[in-house]
Amino acid sequence: MDQLSDTTLYLILVILIILSAYFSSSETSLMSINRYRLKHLCKEGDRGANRVSKLLKRPDRLIGLILIGNNLVNIAATMVATILFVRIFGDFYGPIAVTVGLTIIVLVFAEVTPKTYAALHPEKIAFPSSFILVPLLVIMTPLVKGINTITNGILYLFGLRQINNEDDGLSRDELRTVVYEAGNLIPKKHRDMLVSVLELENVTAEDIMVPRGEIFAIDINDDWKYIQKQLTHAQHTRVLLYRDSIDDAVGFVHLRDALRLLSKDQFTKATMLRAVKEIYYTPESTPLHKLMFKFQQERERIGLVVDEYGDIQGLVTLEDILEEIIGDYTTTMLPDYSKEAVKQQDGSFLVDGGANIRELNKEMQWHFPTDGPKTINGLILEFLEDIPENNISLRLAGYPVEIIDISGNMIKTVRIQPEFYVDYEAQPDD
């Protein structure tokens, strides 16, 4: 090599630096490529994606190949640069010039720059690079296997065993982050639906049920004419029947069946009872994703929610679960609309005390806690530990709340001023 001219040595050094940049960028691009997009492209038949996927099946061999190539190239570049710089700067200053100059050149042109570009555009580097790496891996397999055997043996001595783990599955929290980070790639409405599906596991039947006191039900021991009048004014297609107390529920009657009986002049209390459908019961702690599957298996659309003692606490329907995923589709879709929160001219909201906290948080973008009481009334009573009086003000979960109306032992109406909300968790410590 001492017989080569300076021009030749310069050319060899440039080529070695380019090869070093190739190996560096290949490593970064292959390790940072989006695995899920890669799987999608493989299904689409992209050849480059298929080559990269084969390489990534054995990342230990791939990294071994790249590191071998990169180290060989860098060592060769050091040898060439040493000869060249010694000729220029002499035996004393030449090695110093090589150490300083080549370090800067390698860092800038063979490490930082190519790796940064590869991290920003992994597919542009990984796919063309795989065209060279695949045959190169075949050629250098014996050397790569030998080095991997030695390194795996050293790791084994430290109690570490290499596991060929191809499971790239995401947890629910990770998948939620991926959905949010998708940005404009997924419309906001679709992102909200996907996140709602992921949240079904954290929402129970108790969270979305119609409370016991709001269930529209008919006492079959009432006068027959009164029962007919109630059926006529029913707002639901399925009506719960009970005897004296809702805890003694008989079953659900479908208004379609009642109409068919009426058309045949056979509509009596006895025939109505024969048309009753058996009740499906579910514990109040049942997660919604399980409840949805149970509805599907049992071919049910409605059920009664019971507590640990078997007492009826509320009613839940398949439509309630669907609305939890896609939003309220039975009312207006205006973003500021809430059935139980009426905006006032001063910016405050008059809220029904029986309003469901989860629904308010979703519709109004508020942040009341949902791990305790389910209604605003229950949340205030738990906070005060007493039945309050009218015109009492308090700060609840960071929101100024004024009690407007109380009826019996229940808070009927409160005023909430969200513009004065204080996020205590975000406040700096004193």
242 and 230, same domain (yes or no): yes
Q: How far apart are the first and last CA of the chain?
A: 69
Q: Tell me: the pLDDT tens digits for 392-419? A: 889 988 899 999 988 888 899 999 998 8
Within-domain flag for 334: no
250 and 274, same domain (yes or no): yes
Picking from 123, 157, 191, the residue at the C-terminal end of a domain is 157
275 and 373, same domain (yes or no): no
Task: Quote the pLDDT of residue 115.
Answer: 93
Picking from 301, 326, 351, the residue at the C-terminal end of a domain is 326
Contact 134, 55 (CB under 8 A): yes
Task: Quote the pLDDT of residue 257.
Answer: 82
287 and 390, same domain (yes or no): no
The CATH code of the domain that includes 220 is 3.10.580.10
Cα angle 288, 294, 295; round to 5: 90
Within-domain flag for 85: yes
305 and 276, same domain (yes or no): yes
Task: Quote the pLDDT of residue 171.
Answer: 72
Q: What is the pTM of this model?
A: 0.60
d(C-alpha 300, C-alpha 317), whole Å: 9
23 and 128, same domain (yes or no): yes
Within-domain flag for 336: no
For 93-123, b/e burial (b = at least 16 CB within 10 A) is ebeebbeeebeebbeebbbeebbebbeeebb
82 and 215, same domain (yes or no): no
Q: Tell me: the pLDDT tens digits for 171-214? A: 777 777 777 777 666 777 787 788 788 888 888 898 888 888 88
- Residue 313 φ then ψ, to 5°: -110, -20
Proportion of the chain in helix, strand, coil states, percent, rounded to 5: 55, 15, 25
Which residues contact residue 23 at a Cβ distance below 8 angstroms, ignoring those fewer than 6 apart?
Answer: 66, 69, 70, 73
Within-domain flag for 165: no
197 and 209, same domain (yes or no): no
Half-sphere exposure of 87 (CA within 13 A, CB side): 14
208 and 196, same domain (yes or no): no
120 and 23, same domain (yes or no): yes
Within-domain flag for 163: no
* Overall average pLDDT of the 323-342 stretch: 61
Within-domain flag for 164: no
SS3 316: strand
314 and 209, same domain (yes or no): yes
21 and 146, same domain (yes or no): yes
Residue 416 structural domain? 341-426
d(C-alpha 351, C-alpha 341), whole Å: 4
Q: Tell me: the pLDDT tens digits for 249-297? A: 999 988 888 778 776 677 788 888 888 888 999 999 999 999 999 999 9
Written in H, E and C, the secondary structure of 378-428 is HHHHHHHCCCCCCCCEEEECCEEEEEEEEECCEEEEEEECHHHCCCHHHCC
Within-domain flag for 97: yes
How many domains, in total, are found in the chain? 4
